[in-house]
Chains A and B, each alone.
Chain A
Amino acid sequence: MSETVAAGGPPEQEAFLQLRDVAKNLGGNPVLAGVSLDVFEGDLLGLLGPSGSGKTTLLNIIGGFTDLDAGSVRIAGQDLTALPPHRRDIGITFQKYALFPHLTVFDNIGFGLRQRKVAAPELRQRVGEMLAVLGLTGLAGRYPRSLSGGEQQRVALARALAVRPRLMLLDEPLANLDAALRQRVRFEIREILRSTGVTSIFVTHDQDEAFALCDRVAVLRGGRIQQIGTPAELIYQPANAFVARFIGSPNVFEASVQHYDAQTQSIRFVRDRFTGAACVRAPLTPGTRVEVFVRPDEVVIARADDVQPAKFRVKDWVHLVSGREAWIEGPITLRARLPSEATHLERGAAVIPSWRPERAHAFAIEPAPPAAATT
């Protein structure tokens, strides 16, 4: 079941990390149902999915902590399946950092080098380098419990990078940081991973983080990869209804197909006398029930004039940091975003919403979801 597309990366290049049809059942339930994934050398890949989508299990399988039931994991052509975790040479950072509380920052960072029997002078030098790179030099003698969350996070990163692993796995590295720190740390992490050039997989349930940190993002749900692509591809060309719903908290409503235009690969749909346009991934026959997804910032609202009878009225405004969001009510309820300096529209004002057809996405409503898709 590998319907996944390995997007990005030069096609002639052999992928550095190759997952093929990786499957895992836990207690009779498929946690991973045939995951295939290519990660190229130096890539920063995001693994994005809601909780229960199997992303942590996938991380554990790559790290060697969970056996797989079927499929294979290869790094640079080498099959990892039979290799125990301590011989995989994969750096991992954990959501709660999992620093060794009885060791100083210096000894935490030097732990991996010590396991590799690196001689003392070289160890000191390499730990010193990591301390400098991560701005931890003054903290070498401190114990983890006396560090702030951001500092612990950097120690965890330094500890994993000090052994120069061939692959880095980062499990929700920002989840335990407060919002203000999160913004800064995610760029720091990106910078550091970039400068070391290490191939990295970054697991998160937060799409903003995945988009800010990663070149490519794989969306996981119900143990299957739904789509792999750049952030722009996921936003503007969602592969299915799940991705469209998951990314960017769009307006969602049901409608039925009125007309399919093969040339533009778009449809006109109707919903209670309201008609609109949306693009589709496959031809649809008129009358098909579809779900339409359109993000609020793609919805433009204009004051209705006498020529076009108004079907929508402004119900309320919400102020957001990025602008104002209007709730408009008509045959459907829609959220539309306007920059703060936009013309004032009073509550109850008659308006007409519209959007560019390629920015709305329609998918046929399937009679019943596949069994593995329920999480």
Chain B
Amino acid sequence: MQVAPAIRSSRLSRRATSLLLLAPTTLLYLTVYLGGLVMVLVMSIDVPPGVDSGGATLAHYRDVFGSAPIGAIVLRTLRDSLATVAGCLLLGVPVARYITASASRWKGIVLMAVLSPLMVSAIGRIFGWIALFGPGSVIADGLTALFGGKPTGLLYTEAAIIIGLTNLLLPFMVLSVASSRAHFEEDMSKAALSLGATPLSVLLQVELPLIFPGILSGALIVFSLSTTNFVTAALLGGSGRDLVGYEIYLDILVYFQQGRGAALAMLLLVVVVALMALAIQTGVQRHEVRDTAARTRGT
């Protein structure tokens, strides 16, 4: 076999080329991303100035847990993030269905419209919202007319944060669900209908299980982006309604409590990663159970 070495070497060089192409990304992640994380980790266990104990310390973590408002801030962060996930699901799934339905004529335009919040600068968008939600705005007057109370509007409320985050993060949910809906064929819903399933049963028993992986990954992306977001929360939520992300920002850049901010950032990272791992595990398990069952029962 004279050709074999040539084939092998071309195969090797192809693999080498593809590895080489990954190298810049790997380098970027190792230095900028992982390096940055290590710096935060070091900061979070660094000895505060003036204290002479040498080496590392868990003082910043104790500081975080010891401070009274932190529990409320974390709770509020989780609550607002979950509400944002729910909002994105309620709004995003129908949009994703529309975009992926074969008969839709405007799907290109709708997709562009849904993605457009990502293309507007954060500051511009948020100042627009302040004008929209703030006192004296149409929304404020409308709310007063409907429910009475002071014409302060939605600005500096949790509702403003959730609405803002939902708008900002909706594209991620739509894209994620739309990509998983590729497994769904319109003929499946026709088949289910012809078998006597009501339109609601078709949605719950056929379509939802099929787009579930997309819903899961969309929810994870939206959740992690809302827990770590701080610009939206800071400008729409105002003082007393800040989220973990904003608290970290304040600690590090305003109050110069780098250690405490870093510790808070590490804790947030751990919580988010743990929640994501749990969610992915649940999602993966569903598939694994199915596959194992298939293999054992099928033969």
Q: Interface of A with B (CB < 8 Å)?
A: 63-65, 84-92, 94-96, 98-102, 104, 111-112, 115-116, 138-143, 146, 159-160, 163, 165
Contact = CB atoms under 8 A, between A and B. Distances in A.
B191 A163 contact: no
Interface stretch (B85-93, B136-144, B270-278, B291-299): B291-299
A90 B191 CA distance: 10
Interface stretch (B108-116, B193-201, B241-249): B193-201
7 contacts: A98-B187, A98-B191, A104-B293, A112-B197, A138-B299, A141-B298, A142-B294
A102 B294 CA distance: 11
B298 A163 contact: no
A121 B68 CA distance: 59
B297 A102 contact: no
B188 interface: yes
Interface in B128-150: none
A98 B294 contact: no
A92 B205 CA distance: 18
Given A139-B298, A141-B294, A142-B298, A98 B195 contact: no
Interface string B258-270: 0000000000000
Contacts of B190: 63, 65, 85, 92, 94, 98
Contacts of A86: 193-199
Interface centre among A86, A91, A160 (most CB of B within 10 A): A86
Contacts of B194: 63, 85-86, 88, 90-92, 160, 165
A101 B294 contact: no
Nearest to A168: B194
Contact of A104 (B195, B201, B206, B297): B297
A24 B203 CA distance: 28
Interface of B: 183, 185, 187-188, 190-199, 201, 205-206, 209-210, 290-291, 293-294, 296-299
Given A85-B193, A101-B210, A102-B210, A94 B294 contact: no
Given A64-B193, A65-B190, 15 more contacts: A65-B193, A88-B194, A91-B194, A91-B195, A95-B187, A98-B188, A100-B188, A100-B192, A104-B293, A104-B294, A112-B195, A115-B195, A139-B298, A160-B191, A163-B195
Nearest to B198: A86
A96 B187 contact: yes
A138 to B, nearest CB: 8
Contacts of B209: 102
Contacts of A84: 193
Nearest to B187: A98
A65 B294 CA distance: 33
Contacts of B183: 101
A97 to B, nearest CB: 8
A115 B297 contact: no
B196 A146 contact: no
Given A85-B193, A86-B198, A141 B293 contact: yes
A165 B195 CA distance: 9
Contact of B294 (A115, A116, A143): A143
Contacts of A111: 192, 195, 197, 205
Most buried by A among B192, B193, B209, B291: B193
Contacts of B192: 100, 111
A237 B191 CA distance: 38
Chain A to chain B: the 6 pairs with minimum beta-carbon distance, closest first: A141-B297, A112-B195, A98-B187, A142-B298, A115-B196, A85-B193
Nearest to A98: B187
A39 B280 CA distance: 53
B289 to A, nearest CB: 12
B284 to A, nearest CB: 15
B185 A98 contact: yes
Q: Taking each of B196, B197, B291, which has the highest tally of chain A beta carbons within 10 Å of its own beta carbon?
A: B196
